[in-house]
Amino acid sequence: MSDLELKRNMKEAVSFRRNIYIITFFTLDNFMELEELEQDMKQRTYTVGSLFAGIGGFCRAFKNEGFNVLWANELDPYACQTYKHNYPETRLYEKSIADLSVVSDNLESVDVLTAGFPCQSFSLAGNKLGFEDPRGRLFFEIIRLLKEFGRNRPKIIVLENVKNLIYHNNKLTINIIEEEIKRAGYWFRIPLDNKGNLISDKSNAVVLNTKEHTDIPQNRERLYMVAFSQDFFKVNNFKFPEIEHGLKDVREFLDLDSAADQDLYFDVNSKYGKLFAEKMAEGNKDSVYLLRRAYVRENKSDCTFTLTANMGEGGHNVPVIQDDWGIRKLTPRECARLQGFKDNQFSFPEGMPRAKQYKQIGNAVTVDLVQKLAAQCLNTLKSSKI
């Protein structure tokens, strides 16, 4: 082999080796970038915005799952006090949702938007005026904000309301809600059978009960709705939590080692004190009781009755128990526990009137139940590589 041929072969060999190195380094670099990207996805903090935030039930549930709540909106001044007391790091817009604007208020885009919109207009216990009630029409403000976000709209929306929303106005109300959410750019459906019953296993709206889907013994049925943005998902396959077993004893949520405030106890010689005493003598002393107009009901399922906003209106809307010191109403702290608000995560600001505390707790969602929805939202976002 001539010297010229030898030199030519050596150059080709070096070039070949360089190409191998280049290809190898290119492949390794991309592999490392892919690993870094996957690591970023695992570590990414997803964000939440909360409408009708109340005292932060939705926010607490999503925070517990690692979400960052960027902003919230609430109108009631007392609820705002409680919210700021518990979430000072979250920007709170203290005004009606009707006055809230993506542009004017510089609302940051979020991954998840939550909204437990007013239920009085759709509840069996309310006026049933639906969208004819100004409070009922506030649902459309949610739709307005979704459209204002444009292409930056939330990837997932989670809504909550009363069970009767499905059947209100001969199901016309829920049909309107379904269509409005779809027009806003979301995958969302609420199929009903021939009898008008919800087909839960195919629906993006499901009735969940606190006592069936958590270990908290409160009989509380609420409609939860979850919609996925069509810009980020090809289908809405959200999985709602399954029914679980193993309720805690209701008395685990009560303070039974010491007497409550004296004004929470009934005078045993009063009209209502006698009614409760007579019913408790017939029933289980460890049960929870409630006065319904002129008679007393015992909850025989080892649960408490639904905690409602009416607890803050006085009268006898607060569940009642018997402890070693007499017959008394549940305290706001006990009611908060029965809504999933842990003692180390939640408290009322000093000076908050007791009636306002009861109302705020009754208006809240059960934290533990919503946290299951939050966990599924997190899994959905992660699996979609968003």
- Active-site residue, 59 included: no
Helix residue ranges, H only, the chain: 3-43, 57-64, 77-86, 139-149, 172-183, 210-213, 271-282, 332-337, 354-363, 367-383
**131-135 long-range Cβ contacts below 8 angstroms, 24+ apart:** 131/173, 131/176
Give 159's contacts (C-beta < 8 A, 6+ positions apart): 114, 115, 116, 117, 142, 224, 225, 226, 227
Report yes or no: 75 and 95 within 8 Å, Cβ to Cβ: yes
Name the active-site residue from 59, 80, 119, 303.
119
The whole-angstrom separation of Cα 92 and Cα 70 is 9
User: Helix %, strand %, coil % for the chain, to 5?
Assistant: 45, 15, 40
> By C-alpha distance, which of 324, 354, 351 is closest to 336?
354
Report yes or no: 65 and 170 within 8 Å, Cβ to Cβ: no
DSSP letter, residue 58: H
Q: Residue 48 forms beta bridges with which residues?
A: 69, 112
Enumerate the active-site residues: 119
